[in-house]
Structure 1
Amino acid sequence: MTIADAAGPDSGFSEVPRLRAALRRRLGIDPRALAAFRVALGAVLIADLALRARNLTAFYADAGALPRSTLAEAYPLAARLSLHAVSGASLAVAALFVAAGVAAAALAVGYRTRAATAVSLVLLASLQARNPLVLNAGDTLLLYLLGAGLLCPLGARWSVDAVRRRGAESPEPTGDGTTDRVAGTTDRVAGPATALLLTAVVVVYVSNAVVKLRGTAWPAGEAVGLVFRLTYLHGPLGGLVPDWSPLLAAATYGWLALVVASPLLVAAAGRVRAALAGTLLAAHLSMALTLQIGVFPLVSATALLPFFPPFVWDRVERAVAPAADRLGGDAARRFAPVGATGAGGSTSGGSIRAVRDRVAAAAPVVAAVLLVALVAWNGMALGFVETPEAVAAVSDPTEGGWDMFAPSPPATDALVLTTATTADGGRIDALYGDRVARDRPPSDARAYPTARWRKFLALLADDPDRDRVDPLLAHLCDRAAGFADAEDEPIRSVTVSAVGVDVNSGETRADELGTRSCSAA
């Protein structure tokens, strides 16, 4: 009897398939999870565009608070690369918004999925570069998800592309070394691209957990209570959260436990993974109702969908089967399948397929490089890895950390006063448009209209550079004039002040950012 016989059938190389299967369960993604992720991603992009469009002129046109000349001075690279900075006209920017909306809708329904993802990625990066002063962690995560999604077979299931390819002889390459048809018939798609998508999400949670544990408010159970004392962060239901210390402490420890346990999203599988992803998703959706933090909760909820294992999507498919069959049949009638060209196919079709094959072959390599870079960058941001001099010379990894409400939430309620004065001494709130007291005290300061206004004005309060304040004041002059009634006197001046209220002592401090005479006076 040989040593191999004595060791039994489970020794040696027999462990390799087990290891591969274990890795596949943890780093692979169900094609239906990718489909749900795609739909949610498209919906979030549309929601983001709709929310930004409310202040399209204010943040993305020359008549707004950050004209292209100011952008070029503060962020020269962004000004050169942004398509939204080609023109300062609101109409031109609106056209790009519409184009981004069309691409996002195509992504959501899975029509020309990879092209729609690429266009959405380019336009989102361009939009973010046009005004870096209104961005938060949710914007960065959304860009990450689009980039990683571009390398995954998002259109393999539940898509127009899947209907169009049905019966085709040569499905589109996925970028993971498989085909979309294979992805649609296996329980998981696995490769560097799926590992990149999952790791990008886990890195966010792990980084946030590390920073939280370095502070005192989260380990002490005080952080959530501090957050809800900040009225400027109150969402639709934020003011209804009871000020009950045991409940707020439980919420603090509960969220801290979730982010600390986040590595189980890839370390575990099956029901443990599904339970953790589901709890995190529910927590993020509760944030959307209670906190004014833009699309961040929706982006985070979208990011969790790829973690749900196949048994979850089996149940989803059974629940929606009748409606899905009807939609699938209608789509099949509307969209003819893309057949194989074979030997008689056109030369152009063969050329396109050759390009697709080359892109598919390169995608895993690109994903692997990005995965290493992602882990290394966040390691440098947390101080676990020394930043090389070549990297430090061009960027500081610590400036892009995932430190949401960490290591401790702010202790100051940040509010704003934007007062427009008419020629007869009347007062109008230049942000909200309603009448205010003639002698307006700091106690009348208000929360910011949107999360993006808060980000923009908070950064301006930290660094009230006159070259940045003047365009804001000029925009507020125009904005206040638009709010004024026909019988009002012209707007004479606008004053902006940042107001801070200490949540512990109640002390109020007002810092005037600037005053401007309006041209209509």
Structure 2
Amino acid sequence: MALMRMAVAAVLLLDLGIRSTDLEAHYTNLGVLPLYVLFERAWNPYEFSLHTMSGLWAAQAALFLLAAAAAVGLLLGWRTRLMTVLSWVLLVSVQNRNPMIVQGGDDLLRMLLFWAIFLPWGRVWAKDAQARPAPAHYRYFSAATAAYVVQIALVYVCTALLKSGPEWRSEGTAIYYALSLDQVLMPGGRLLYPHYELLKVLTHLTFYTELLLPVLLFIPVATPLWRTVFVLVIWGFHLGISLTLFVGLFFLISAASVLGLLPTPVLNGLERRLGPPVQRGAGHLGRWRQRLPRWQWPLTLELRAHWQPQVHRHFRLLPALRDTVLLVLLGYTIWWNLDGIARPGYTMREPLRWFGYVFRTDQHWGMFAPTVFKDDGWYILEGQTKDGRRLDLNRGGQPVTYRKPYSVVALHKNDRWRKYSENYLFVSNDWMRPYYCHYLLRRWRENPRNPPLRQLDVVYMKEVSLPRYRVQGPTREVLCSCQP
């Protein structure tokens, strides 16, 4: 759990770093989603967001700095529970501020922090542990750990059950269609794409891996072995996805999420190999280790059977009630996940959803489900200058060309913009279009070296993927036009 805490904190810092490069664009009133538009078009009245207190850049920067400070505190294990709560609140807040750039990895990161509020993941390898004796035993079981394990299982089982299209269940063409999407195609995907029969095998392997692999988490015999297998397969699975498809931080979030499942024998073995005892005069690294007396080196990782963590007094009150509440929350989470999978009579009715919306335990693991998009293409931000030239703002103002670029994914600054461009396409989100168009015009005018534009067209060059490497298109679609 300590490893997972540090990994999650590192991911939070990386996520904040990436988001901060688009602070104005995604979180202020000068960007693509001003506050009044958010409240009018994309807001759930049960949600909360500290980031909606102001549309000014300075206010957003202050909240980002606060979130970074909380993540550093979590990484060091300083006031761990408080830093966990603060990190969770600020993560929910920033996700609610702009839901048009949120993807599945964000849901997983949010749920990890939610369950971790009730986990003792600051008991070792933490600043908090320095003032406390090393625990005699390290195996820990509670309603919170059960919720954590079940949550990991739900991610994979639900995404498999939601994959109901024939491309997954019978035809075996889902990965072929996924790699046909140039918007997310990575170099590894280019290598696999020509091998049609191999892609069919990988499709079925992916589906049954997601569906059956979580069973390993609940086998009561040889538990360390099965959990080690689960962690290694998940790491390899997501590494393969990240090499073939552009999924942002999903790979790192998923890798961090299963660190808490690593069993004691594996960690003890790593400790013996990677953590030799510090000798006197061992140089700067040795002196650094010696300044962490309660963290100890080799770092103690073994978890044994009857240890009960020492926690703050208010968390010792009515532990049975606390565990009962957690089990109810776990049942609520499982029920939420059944929505869309079970028959309509068993789904959750809207009046019961308020808790999920308020605390953002709502989740949907429909990655490439129920089927894979067939519509593909790329954007051309076609600006018309006053002297008649046509420039592509998506390529730094170069002359417009309708030729397909070699790497479509390279047109996106990061995965947040890729997700935004995906949502931008949907007819139900057509309200987004003029705000993005006018944002681009304003940014273009801010550079005095850019020639004045009399019109900007957001153009989508649409291709439709067909079986056996056939493609329909491209066709030029103007999604939005705006003038200065």
CA spacing shift, 1:443–1:88, aligned 2, 3 Å = same
> 1:253 is aligned with what amino acid?
H
Aligned counterpart in structure 2 of residue 401 of structure 1, from 364, 367, 388: 364
Aligned counterpart in structure 2 of residue 386 of structure 1, from 328, 340, 346: 346
Q: Give the % identical residues.
A: 28
Measure, in 1, the Cα distance between the counterparts of 2:150 and 2:245. Answer: 26
Aligned counterpart in structure 1 of residue 251 of structure 2, from 272, 282, 297: 297
> 1:478 is aligned with what amino acid?
R
SS in 2 for 1:322: coil
Q: Is the 8 A contact 2:182 2:408 kept in 1?
A: no
After superposition, what is the alpha-carbon deviation per residue over 1:215-266, rounded to whole angstroms, capped at 9, x for unaligned?
A: 3335433222221121111235443435212332332232222112223232
SS in 2 for 1:417: strand
> 2:208 is aligned with what amino acid?
A
> 2:483 is aligned with what amino acid?
S
Question: Where does residue 29 of structure 1 map in the other structure?
Answer: none
Q: Is the 8 A contact 1:424 1:489 kept in 2?
A: no
Question: Where does residue 109 of structure 2 map in the other structure?
Answer: 142
After superposition, what is the alpha-carbon deviation per residue over 1:189-208, rounded to whole angstroms, capped at 9, x for unaligned?
A: 10100001110110111111
Confirm or deny that 1:331 pairs with 2:331: no
Q: Is the 8 A contact 1:265 1:307 kept in 2?
A: no
Decide which structure has greater helix share.
1
Count of aligned pairs: 448
Q: Is the 8 A contact 2:51 2:94 kept in 1?
A: yes
Aligned counterpart in structure 2 of residue 315 of structure 1, from 240, 251, 269: 269
Aligned counterpart in structure 1 of residue 427 of structure 2, from 463, 468, 477: 463
CA spacing shift, 1:466–1:412, aligned 2, 3 Å = closer
After superposition, what is the alpha-carbon deviation per residue over 1:260-308, rounded to whole angstroms, capped at 9, x for unaligned?
A: 2223232222212311221111111222232211211211111222222
Q: Is the 8 A contact 2:231 2:261 kept in 1?
A: yes
- Please report how far the alpha carbon of residue 510 of structure 1 lies from its aligned counterpart in structure 2 after TM superposition: 3.0
Aligned counterpart in structure 2 of residue 410 of structure 1, from 348, 352, 373: 373
Measure, in 1, the Cα distance between the counterparts of 2:237 and 2:272. Answer: 26
Matches within 5 A, 1:20-39: 34-39=1-6
Confirm or deny that 1:234 pairs with 2:185: yes
Aligned counterpart in structure 1 of residue 453 of structure 2, from 491, 494, 498: 491
Q: Is the 8 A contact 2:377 2:474 kept in 1?
A: no
More off after superposition, 276-285 vs 249-258: 249-258
Q: Is the 8 A contact 1:419 1:430 kept in 2?
A: yes
SS in 2 for 1:233: coil
CA spacing shift, 1:254–1:186, aligned 2, 3 Å = farther
Measure, in 1, the Cα distance between the counterparts of 2:47 and 2:218. Answer: 42
Matches within 5 A, 1:96-111: 96-111=63-78
CA spacing shift, 1:96–1:428, aligned 2, 3 Å = farther
After superposition, what is the alpha-carbon deviation per residue over 1:458-507, rounded to whole angstroms, capped at 9, x for unaligned?
A: 3232136665322211111122235x562x42233221123321122332
Q: What is the TM-score of this pair, normalised by structure 1?
A: 0.78
Gaps of 5+ in 1: 1-33, 168-180, 336-351
Aligned counterpart in structure 2 of residue 205 of structure 1, from 156, 169, 179: 156
After superposition, what is the alpha-carbon deviation per residue over 1:85-135, rounded to whole angstroms, capped at 9, x for unaligned?
A: 111112221221121112112212212111111111000000000011111
More off after superposition, 70-79 vs 293-302: 70-79
Aligned counterpart in structure 2 of residue 83 of structure 1, from 46, 50, 67: 50
Aligned residues: CA RMSD: 3.0
Matches within 5 A, 1:119-158: 119-158=86-125
Question: Where does residue 270 of structure 1 map in the other structure?
Answer: 224
CA spacing shift, 1:428–1:115, aligned 2, 3 Å = farther
CA spacing shift, 1:481–1:109, aligned 2, 3 Å = same
Measure, in 2, the Cα distance between the counterparts of 1:195 and 1:466. Answer: 42
Q: What is the TM-score of this pair, normalised by structure 2?
A: 0.84
- Structure showing greater Rg: 1
Measure, in 2, the Cα distance between the counterparts of 1:370 and 1:464. Answer: 32
Aligned counterpart in structure 2 of residue 480 of structure 1, from 433, 444, 462: 444
Q: Is the 8 A contact 1:235 1:292 kept in 2?
A: yes
Q: Is the 8 A contact 2:175 2:203 kept in 1?
A: yes
SS in 2 for 1:251: helix
After superposition, what is the alpha-carbon deviation per residue over 1:294-327, rounded to whole angstroms, capped at 9, x for unaligned?
A: 2112111112222222111111222232388945
Q: Is the 8 A contact 2:47 2:96 kept in 1?
A: no
Confirm or deny that 1:247 pairs with 2:198: yes
> 1:277 is aligned with what amino acid?
V
SS in 2 for 1:500: strand
Q: Is the 8 A contact 2:160 2:211 kept in 1?
A: yes
SS in 2 for 1:331: coil
Question: Where does residue 302 of structure 2 map in the other structure?
Answer: none
Question: Where does residue 128 of structure 2 map in the other structure?
Answer: 161
Q: Is the 8 A contact 1:78 1:129 kept in 2?
A: no
Question: Where does residue 305 of structure 2 map in the other structure?
Answer: none
